Amino acid sequence: MASTHLFNVNLDDFDEKVIQTSHTIPVLVDFWADWCGPCIVIAPILEKIINDYNGTIQLAKLEVDEDENMKLAGKYQVRGFPTIILFEKGIEVERFSSAQSYSYIDQFIQQYSVLLKNI
Residue among 9, 29, 36, 105 flagged as catalytic: 36
pLDDT tens per residue across span 51-94: 999 999 999 999 999 879 999 999 999 999 999 999 999 999 99
| CB-based burial, 29-45: b 16+ in 10 Å, e otherwise | bbbbbeebebbeebbeb
Topology (CATH level 3) of domain 6-112: Glutaredoxin (3.40.30)
Using the predicted structure, report yes or no on whether residue 111 has a pLDDT greater than 80: yes
pLDDT at 67: 79
Q: Give catalytic status of residue 39 as yes or no.
A: yes
Would you say 29 and 96 are in contact if contact means Cβ atoms under 8 Å apart? Answer: no
Residue among 18, 29, 33, 39 flagged as catalytic: 39
pLDDT at 116: 82
Whether pTM exceeds 0.85? yes
pLDDT band at 36 (very low <50, low <70, confident <90, very high): very high
Distance CA 68, CA 81 (A): 16
Domain extents for the chain?
A: 6-112
Using the predicted structure, report yes or no on whether residue 42 has a pLDDT greater than 90: yes
The pLDDT of 101-105, averaged and rounded, is 98
Tell which residue, 110, 26, 12, 107, has the closest CA to residue 66: 12
DSSP three-state, residue 27: strand
Using the predicted structure, report yes or no on whether residue 35 has a pLDDT greater than 50: yes
The phi and psi torsions of 59 (rounded to 5 degrees) equal -125, 120
